[in-house]
Each structure stands twice: as C-alpha cells, then as structure tokens.
Amino acid sequence: MSERALRGTRLGATSYETDRGIDLAPRQTVEYACTNGHRFEVPFSVEAEIPTVWECRFCGSEALLLNGDEPEEKKAKPARTHWDMLMERRTREELEEVLAERLAVLRSGRMNIAVHPRDSRKSA
C-alpha cells in the first residue's frame, strides 16, 4: 500500500516545505552586459564579492559588470622558445664547443648522412 502512495510524487525532486516564516538572506541584484548586446541581472548576497565578469545567459560569451571596474588584466608570461630553454641548460661557450665538434664530424666524413629516397630520384 505504501508503495502506491509514493508512486508518481517525484520523491526527492520537490520540496514540500514552504517559505512562510523564513527570513531570506539580504540580496542585491547586479546587472551584466555582454558584447552581443544582451543584458541580464544576477542576484547575489549582500556579503558576496561581486565578480566583474560573468557568463552571458543567452549566448555564453563573456559579460562585464555594468557600472563596475574593468577586470584586471592577468600578467601573461612571455612564451618560452626553444632557444630560451636551451640557454637555461647551456652557456654560449658550451654551445660553441658542441657546434665545433659536430662540424668536425661532418667535415671528416665519419658520419653517414642518410639521403631521403625522393632526393635520390631527383639527382638520377
């Protein structure tokens, strides 16, 4: 009998409590606008720190806080190149020495340089 009584009530999905006699936390409504012209409001607690950027409800792009400060630009690290990483591991003198050694090996003919099959057809 009790199984039939609970069937179809979406148990756990719906609260049967009411808001009567409950004091809600004080709130403030903040307005955002995205680059596509959408404007929308988001409720926050009075005590909450208001973010300057919020995702637009309509298009998903970045929306900025109206009547607020511009978001701070994050300092981006400059991209490290292969040369930068090489210079972290070796000094310029060490690199000159390695280069001289490799050039000596190439000039002596001790190193067998493989020729790509397509390159050999062109010369024939």
Please tell me whether 56 is known to bind a ligand: yes
Query: For the purposes of burial, counting CB atoms within 10 Å of the CB of 63, is it exposed (0-12), middle (13-18) or buried (19 or more)?
Result: buried
Please tell me whether 38 is known to bind a ligand: yes
Q: Assess contact for 30 and 50: CB atoms under 8 A.
A: yes
Output the known binding site for Zn(2+). Answer: 34, 38, 56, 59
Q: Which residues are known binding-site members? A: 34, 38, 56, 59
